[in-house]
Every structure is written in structure tokens, then in C-alpha cells.
Homo-oligomer: A and B are copies of this chain.
């Protein structure tokens, strides 16, 4: 079916999720950088790949796929990677944890949204930092409570990494980037430590690429 190609930006959380997932999958793939700071994602060639002008985009199985969580579900359905547990209730929980990050925290802290906040407030770094701390802090605090139950193990759901951990790790990276205090999130910190020890998570860690 040809090579797997990931259109990627090193600091995009959604790209980071897919780098982890592809690492867990273990199939080789090629990365093509799309530099968001240079506005490469708004150029016609990228809009042709994804009308939303977002990364990541994944070319696989003769398809061009968008939306990181929809892609992770696809990889799970076609390759049986175990990103979701077997039972319906467990699957619901992993999706709910994933969505609580991917829907309630990540989009609100996206470049275009924060850019609009800065434009409206004529604000600078302090406004940006306040915004990030507020929404990442509140979102992860709620997630910490959601994790306070027996089904949480070494990872968000049991003792194997799932889609929820794939969503969590990039959000913890962002929390650290913006100096969000996670002292009251011991479960999240413990899970992040277990994730960081896995090769697929370590290999996916954001590193600026000169070609990007």
C-alpha cells in the first residue's frame, strides 16, 4: 500500500500524539515537516491535504487521513495495536479521558485561538501565559479527579498505555512548557513518568528539526 507519511510539526500536540501511536505500531514512516510558525499549514499545498489547515495528516493505506484521534482509532481497528481496551465500558472510559484532553484543553490553547485572544486584548506574553495556565491547569485538575478510581493503574486505564496516555503526554509537555503547577496532580505525574520510560513515547518527544 506504499509508504506511511506523517505531515508533522514538532511542537504540535496532535502531531506528538501520532508520533507516539506510530512508534507503538512499529511500522516505518516518513515525516514531512509543516512549519506552523512559517504559516506552512495555511499554504495551498497543505490546505489540499487538510482543508482545516491543521497537522497532523497521515498518508496510509492509499488514504489521506486527518484528525489525530480518528487516525489513532483507525490504526487500532486496522492493526489491532491495543490503543483501546477490549470491553465497551473500558473503551468508553479511555475515549472519555482522551476527549477530556483533546476536546476540553487542547483546542482552547491552539495557536489560532490564543492568537485571537492576543489580538483582541492587545496583550503579550503575560496574557498568553495566563490563558495557558488557566485552561491547562483547570483541565488537568479535572482529569486528575477522573483518574481517582480503581481502573487507573500505572497508566490512565490499567497497566498498559492506551489512547488516553497518548493524549496525556503531549498535554503534560505543554503544561511544563507554560509552567503550569502540577503539584496537585500526583496521578498524572506518576503516569507521565511511566509513559516517559517507554521507547515509543521517548522517541516521539518534541525536538526541533532544522528542516522544519
Contacts and interface: CB of A to CB of B under 8 A. Distances in A.
Contacts of A70: 92-93, 95-96, 98-99
**Residue among A65, A91, A107, A142 facing the most chain B CB atoms (10 A cut-off):** A107
Contact of A88 (B53, B78, B102, B145): B78
A65 B52 contact: no
A140 to B, nearest CB: 11
Contacts of A61: 89
Interface residues of A, number: 47
Interface of A: 51-54, 61, 63, 65-67, 69-71, 73-74, 77-78, 88-89, 91-93, 95-96, 98-100, 102-104, 106-108, 113, 116-117, 120-121, 123, 127, 131, 134-135, 139, 142-143, 145-146
